[in-house]
């Protein structure tokens, strides 16, 4: 019985770990924290494995556990309140980056769809070149070519965004 439980859970980990990591990274924007969140979510899922009634619902169950783990990070976090702060003197620095973001979006939309689509799948979706090739019905070499041409077009326009190039 325990062996069957182990193998079923191992299959679940193999099937959803990468997907859960992408979701965790989207939530916290920190690679190491995302890894910790996924590991903690699987630890909690393992301890509650017997409470899962339908294994077909395991994916949404894992997402819920991960979401709750992320929320737990902020449960006890207290904001520092400064009583004598003049609110009119505070400067909103978020507006400074808005113009750069608008320019970046325009540059991305100016890319041909054949370049933009693989780039967005890699950067935002976190997909590997092989996964993108499968999604777009291309060869991995064609995907890598399109990714480098997209980055080159953005560099030429002076709009190379601040993201890391994912490995193939």
Mean pLDDT (whole number) for 48-69: 81
Mean pLDDT (whole number) for 56-73: 85
How far CA 86 is from CA of 89, 91, 95, 96, 159, in Å, comes to 6, 11, 20, 21, 37
Sorted by where each starts, the structural domains of the chain and their CATH numbers stand as: 2-72 (1.10.1740.10), 97-156 (1.10.10.10)
Per-residue model confidence as pLDDT tens digits over 88-119: 666 666 666 677 778 878 888 888 989 988 98
More confident residue, 135 or 82: 135
Both tokens of 160, joined, read 């190379």
pTM of the predicted protein model: 0.45
Nearest to 117 by CA among 150, 80, 73, 87: 150
Tell me the pLDDT band of 167, cut-offs 50, 70 and 90: very low
Let me know: does 118 contact 136? Beta carbons within 8 Å.
Answer: yes
């Amino acid at each position: 019985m325990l062996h069957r439980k182990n193998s079923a859970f191992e299959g679940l980990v193999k099937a959803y770990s990468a997907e859960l990591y992408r979701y965790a990274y989207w939530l916290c924007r920190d690679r190491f924290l995302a890894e910790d969140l996924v590991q903690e979510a699987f630890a909690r899922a393992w301890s509650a494995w017997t409470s899962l009634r339908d294994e077909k619902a395991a994916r949404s169950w894992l997402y819920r556990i991960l979401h709750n783990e992320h929320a737990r990070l902020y449960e006890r976090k207290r904001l520092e309140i400064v009583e004598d702060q003049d609110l009119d003197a505070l400067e909103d620095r978020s507006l400074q980056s808005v113009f750069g973001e608008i320019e970046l979006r325009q540059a991305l939309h100016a890319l041909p769809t054949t370049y933009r689509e693989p780039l967005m799948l890699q950067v935002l979706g976190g997909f590997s070149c092989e996964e993108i090739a499968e999604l777009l019905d291309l060869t991995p070499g064609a995907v890598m070519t399109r990714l480098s041409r997209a980055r080159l077009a953005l560099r030429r326009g002076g709009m190379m965004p601040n993201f890391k190039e994912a490995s193939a």
